[in-house]
Amino acid sequence: MVIAIYNHQEYYPPTLNALEELSKSCDKIYLLGRNIKTSNWIYPKNVEIKLSGSYKTVNEIREASLIWKILSFARFTFNLFLLIIKHKPKWVVCYDSIPLWAFRIATKFIFFKIPKLWYHNHDVIDGHHKFSVSWWASSRIVISWSFPILSVSFTPNDLFNALIVASILSST
C-alpha cells in the first residue's frame, strides 16, 4: 500500500491512528509526505516514511515563490510515481485533493495495472489562495472524479453536506 499526504502526517492524529490500523493488515506501507516537520512519532515496523524534498518549515513554504511551489508539487508527483512503479501496490490512499491530483498525473505514465484508489478528504483545503497548488488541485478534483475511485471516506462535515445535497436532489 502507498499512502500520499501533501502535508505531514503527524499534523493529523487520525491519520496516524489509521496508519496504525492499516499496518496490521498490510505487509508493507509506504507513506509519502512532504518534508516540513521533524518526525517524533514511532511508526510500526512495516511502515516506511518517504519525505518529498529537502526540509522547509511551513512558514518558509508559505513565503516561497510560485515556481518553487510548482516544482515542489512536481517533485511530490514524481516521488509518488516512483513509489507506484517500484512497489506496484494494490492500493494507493490519497489524503485530500493535492495527492489525488498527483495520483491522476502519475498514473498517466504507468503502463501496467493501475492500483486501486482510496480517496480520503480531511476537509482542510478551505481558504486557499487563487492559483495556489491547493486551488489548482481542488479545481481539478472534478476532473479526477472521472478516474475510478474504489473507496472514498469523508470527514463528518463533508458527509453531513453530502446527505443534505442527496436529500435535496431526491426531493426534486
Distance (Å, whole) CA 19 – CA 93:
11
Task: Give the per-residue pLDDT at 9.
Answer: 85
- CA dist 152 and 159 (Å) reads 11
Q: Say how many domains are in the chain.
A: 1
Decide if 11 contacts 18 (C-beta within 8 A): no
pLDDT at 34: 92
Q: Where are the alpha helices (DSSP H) in the chain?
A: 13-23, 58-63, 66-87, 97-106, 133-144, 156-170
| pLDDT computed for residue 130 by the predictor | 52
pLDDT of residue 142: 44
pLDDT computed for residue 83 by the predictor: 97
Per-residue model confidence (pLDDT) at position 11: 84
Domain of 60, CATH number, reads 3.40.50.2000
Retrieve residue 27's grid coordinates. Answer: 505487509
One digit per residue, pLDDT tens: the chain, 172 residues? 999 998 888 887 888 888 899 999 999 999 999 999 888 899 999 999 999 999 999 899 889 998 999 999 999 999 999 999 999 999 999 888 889 889 989 999 988 888 988 887 655 555 455 545 555 555 555 444 555 555 455 454 444 444 444 444 454 4
- Which residues span the domain enclosing 16? 2-170
Whether this model's pTM surpasses 0.85: no
